[in-house]
Amino acid sequence: MNFITLAVKNLMRRKGRTGLTILGVAIAISVLFSLIALNTGYEIELNREMDSFGAHILAVPKGCPYEAASLMIHGGVIPKYLNISDLEAVRSIDGVEVASPLLMYQFYKRDEATGQNNPHIVYGIKIDDMREIKPWWKVEGRFFEDDEKKVKVVGRELAEKENLTVGQVMPFGPHREEFTVVGILERTGDQDDLLHFLPLEEAQRLSNKEGKITTISVKVGDLGRVGAVAVEMEKIPDIQAVTMTQIMGTITNLTGSARSLLMTVISIAMVISAFGILNTLLMSVNERTREFGMLKAIGASGLDIGKMIMAETLIITALGGLLGTVMAVAGSTIIEGFVKGMLPYAPLGSFIHITPELVAFSLVFSVGLGIVCGIYPAFKSSQLTPMEAIRGGLE
Amino acid sequence: MTAILEASGLTKIYRRGREEIRALKEVDFRVDEGEFVSIIGPSGSGKTALLNVIGCLDTPSKGRVILDGTETTKMKERGLVRLRREKIGFVFQQFYLIPTLTARENIELPLLFSRKGERGRIEEILDMVGLSDRGDHLPGQLSGGEMQRVAIGRALINDPKIILADEPTGNLDSATSRMIFELFRDLNRSGLTLVIVTHNLDLANQADKMYTLRDGQMVGCEMLAVPGNGADGSG
């Protein structure tokens, strides 16, 4: 027999209470675990989304705020345009490696199944420039040439939703012209999966925006020069240059209040749980003073008793931590759906991010919680003199 | 005869609110090695207070206690813990067994605190208290007498110099009480010193020496038999 087996057997004397205390710890730890997993996952997913945009700087029309730039990355549309001549001006700036023009527009299409009008987003692009921005793009079928007419490439998810296949001819645009789907993008996991891609000129023709573009994505050769290139770009009258860092900052600000609320919830949950554990332990210690007196009479020192209480506490919190982590992992998709609804800018992919480090952290944290909560009851019980203990706090 | 325990001028005052309770008043008390001593007295006479003070569970307000040549009244908690571990075995009225530990584990418990590894002794002790076939039973599966035997076994495991028992038969019927006293008697014959507090006069009379306490004062000391020879008058 050792202190651990003694502690386990002591805990088994009060199965109901032990079980409930473990459950209390488990709930607190699972909340902590889920919220941290969400928080880190959110950041990672956001970064991934930024990376998948491929550009370092975005040239947007003047007066277009950062929020609109953020919206654009996410596949939104803004009602302001640059001229195609601005593209040449940007290209001539020293340090610009690729400048890829983009015209976005949106149309609504009635979904036969639900009867709802769904928004569709069209990107008019220069295919060679775009592929330099997004070198990971792969296509089933082929990409179109910039001067081809009535062709398009669609995202994988869109193709699945609309039952499109390579080579299919379908009516498209305001005049329902016969467009051929020449390629379907392989899944990218971001907004590209949902888009229609057209040669830039075709997009301009269909949307009556000849010579207009919405934005220019710029890739810089030397990352250290992003700031300098952005400054140069702003010297072009129409253009406001937004760097990815600024966009990230904007999104972080947008979601900041929601995330600090999450953190507050975590902290409050931890404090409530800590007091719950402390209360249960103190109650148990008070009930067991006579037993401690007996233990002292048969040779236990105060330290021995303290150790025993500490072992009991640590077993409770470690089991609670383990159970809580399992609960959090099992319920992560439910929690994610719930939190996604609360955040103003939720990335598309799954952003519950469970790592071995996080699992280790929540286990270490639960043990730490045990140490913090166990210290006072352990100290209190160790300080009882045998007589006080045997008299059971009668005086 | 060498005294294993000698107390002189013991006074113990408790406070309960504003009330001052003088549990012991100038008590002198002596136990020789190998002796079987009983302390008798009505409830509230200070029997338990005396046992706690001599058992190093409590400190006297005045007076001194010498246990096996060591003055305990001046010792720090650390030294007292060692004394309780090595020299004293306690038996209580309510047994105080841990319900989720088997009889064997309850007997083993003091070894956890004394860090002694003599597991072999456990079987010997189970046998000594007549529970060889009950070692794996939980206290809930044992009778009152058996539970008290487990508690006695627990008091014996550290091989103490003296056993202090506080009303060990207080929760038992008279037949079982007699059996427990016989066990004490057997232990005494094998050389163990015993001090037993009781209010059962019949049982107290079986000791070698009987002290009587009343209102915190030692009012009588009766020699009943020659130590170690039993109380049947044969010695």
The predicted-structure confidence for A321-358, as pLDDT tens digits, reads as follows 999 999 988 887 777 777 666 666 666 666 677 788 88
Instruction: Determine the pLDDT at residue B232.
Output: 47
AA letter at B227: P
Instruction: Determine the pLDDT at residue B35.
Output: 93
- Give the residue from B19, B51, B57 with the most A CB atoms within 10 Å of its CB, the best one to mutate: B57
Q: Residues 356 to 385 of A: which have CB under 8 A from any B CB?
A: 385
CB nearest B57 (choices: A12, A301, A386): A386
pLDDT above 50 for B234? no
AA letter at B150: V
Which residue matches tokens 């006293």? Answer: B181
Distance from CA of B121 to the nearest CA of A (A): 15
pLDDT above 80 for B82? yes
AA letter at A111: D
**Does any CB of chain B come closer than 8 Å to the CB of residue A10?**
yes
Residue contact A296–B100, C-beta within 8 A: no
- Give the residue from B113, B114, B122, B148 with the most A CB atoms within 10 Å of its CB, the best one to mutate: B113
The side-by-side arrangement of strands in the sheet containing B209-214 is B88-91, B162-166, B193-198, B36-40, B209-214, B217-223
Instruction: Determine the pLDDT at residue A336.
Output: 73
Q: Which residues of B touch A387 (CB under 8 A)?
A: 52, 57-58
pLDDT above 50 for B134? yes
Nearest residue in chain B measured CA to CA from A383: B77
Q: Residues 40 to 99 of A: which have CB under 8 A from any B CB?
A: none
- The two tokens of residue B203 are 């049982």
pLDDT above 70 for B33? yes
User: For residue B90, what is the enclosing H or E element?
Assistant: strand B88-91
Residue contact A294–B112, C-beta within 8 A: no
AA letter at A246: Q
Nearest residue in chain A measured CA to CA from B59: A387
Query: How do beta strands B36-40 and B193-198 pair?
Result: parallel
- Give the residue from A291, A298, A394 with the most B CB atoms within 10 Å of its CB, the best one to mutate: A298
Give me chain B's average pLDDT, please. Answer: 87
Reported confidence tier of residue A393, pLDDT bands at 50, 70, 90: very low
Among A98, A60, A101, A61, smallest CA distance to A201 is for A101
Distance from CA of A383 to the nearest CA of B (A): 11
Instruction: Determine the pLDDT at residue B200.
Output: 85
pLDDT digits (tens, 9 = 90+) for A29-82: 888 888 788 777 777 777 777 777 778 888 888 776 665 565 566 566 666 788
pLDDT above 90 for A395? no
**Does any CB of chain B come closer than 8 Å to the CB of residue A290?**
yes
- The two tokens of residue A326 are 């399992």
**Does any CB of chain B come closer than 8 Å to the CB of residue A304?**
yes
Among B51, B42, B41, B38, smallest CA distance to B10 is for B51
For A71, residues 6+ apart whose C-beta sits below 8 A from its C-beta are A78
Nearest residue in chain B measured CA to CA from A301: B81
Interface of B with A (CB under 8 A): 14-16, 52, 55, 57-58, 77-78, 81, 84-85, 88-90, 92, 94, 96, 98-101, 105, 108-114, 154-155, 158
In contact, A104 and A214? CB cutoff 8 Å: yes
Among A46, A59, A100, A31, smallest CA distance to A266 is for A31
Which residue matches tokens 């206290």? Answer: B139
Instruction: Determine the pLDDT at residue A71.
Output: 58
- The two tokens of residue B98 are 């841990």
Instruction: Determine the pLDDT at residue B6.
Output: 93
For the segment A178-202, the average pLDDT, to the nearest whole number, is: 90
Reported confidence tier of residue A394, pLDDT bands at 50, 70, 90: very low
Nearest residue in chain A measured CA to CA from B52: A387
- Give the residue from B87, B96, B163 with the most A CB atoms within 10 Å of its CB, the best one to mutate: B96
Per-residue buried b or exposed e for B46-60, using 16+ beta carbons within 10 Å of the residue's own CB: bbbbbbbbbbbbbbb
- Alpha-carbon gap, residue A184 to A155, rounded angstroms: 6
Q: Residues 144 to 203 of A: which have CB under 8 A from any B CB?
A: none
Question: For chain A, what's the residue count?
Answer: 395
Q: Which residues of B touch A293 (CB under 8 A)?
A: 57
For the segment B22-47, the average pLDDT, to the nearest whole number, is: 90
C-beta atoms surrounding A225 within 10 Å: 16
pLDDT digits (tens, 9 = 90+) for B185-212: 999 999 999 999 988 888 889 899 999 9
DSSP letter at A145 equals P
Among B235, B192, B226, smallest CA distance to B207 is for B226
Instruction: Determine the pLDDT at residue A75.
Output: 60
Q: What is the pTM of this model?
A: 0.70
Give me chain A's average pLDDT, please. Answer: 83
Q: Which residues of A touch B88 (CB under 8 A)?
A: 297
pLDDT digits (tens, 9 = 90+) for A231-267: 888 888 888 888 887 777 777 777 777 778 878 887 8
Instruction: Determine the pLDDT at residue B120.
Output: 79
Q: Which residues of B touch A6 (CB under 8 A)?
A: 101, 109, 112
- The two tokens of residue A54 are 């491929």
For the segment A146-166, the average pLDDT, to the nearest whole number, is: 91
Nearest residue in chain A measured CA to CA from B20: A395
pLDDT above 50 for B235? no
Nearest residue in chain B measured CA to CA from A8: B100
Among B193, B185, B180, smallest CA distance to B131 is for B180
Instruction: Determine the pLDDT at residue A139.
Output: 92
Instruction: Determine the pLDDT at residue B140.
Output: 93
- Interface A-B, measured as beta-carbon pairs within 8 A, has a size of 79
Reported confidence tier of residue A152, pLDDT bands at 50, 70, 90: very high
**Does any CB of chain B come closer than 8 Å to the CB of residue A307?**
no
Q: Which residues of A touch B16 (CB under 8 A)?
A: 395
Residue contact A1–B109, C-beta within 8 A: yes
pLDDT digits (tens, 9 = 90+) for A263-309: 888 788 788 888 888 888 888 888 888 888 888 888 898 899 999 98
Residue contact B158–A299, C-beta within 8 A: yes
Displacement of CA B40 from its chain's centroid (Å): 13
- The two tokens of residue A65 are 């705020």
Beta bridge partners of B38: B196, B210
Instruction: Determine the pLDDT at residue A247.
Output: 76
Nearest residue in chain A measured CA to CA from B159: A298
User: For residue B169, what is the enclosing H or E element?
Assistant: none
In contact, A199 and A144? CB cutoff 8 Å: yes
Reported confidence tier of residue B38, pLDDT bands at 50, 70, 90: very high
3-state SS class at B42: coil
Nearest residue in chain A measured CA to CA from B100: A9
In contact, B36 and B230? CB cutoff 8 Å: no
ipTM reported for the complex, 2 dp: 0.86
Q: Which residues of B touch A392 (CB under 8 A)?
A: none
Identify the residue with better confidence: A222 or B160.
B160
Q: Phi, psi at residue A206, to the nearest 5°?
A: -65, -30
Which residue matches tokens 């302001």? Answer: A80
Lowest-pLDDT choice from A148-162, A261-275, A354-368: A261-275
Distance from CA of A48 to the nearest CA of B (A): 55
CB nearest A304 (choices: B57, B78, B113): B113
Which residue matches tokens 């003296």? Answer: B162
CB nearest B113 (choices: A9, A290, A299): A299
The percent of residues in chain A predicted with pLDDT above 90, rounded, is: 18
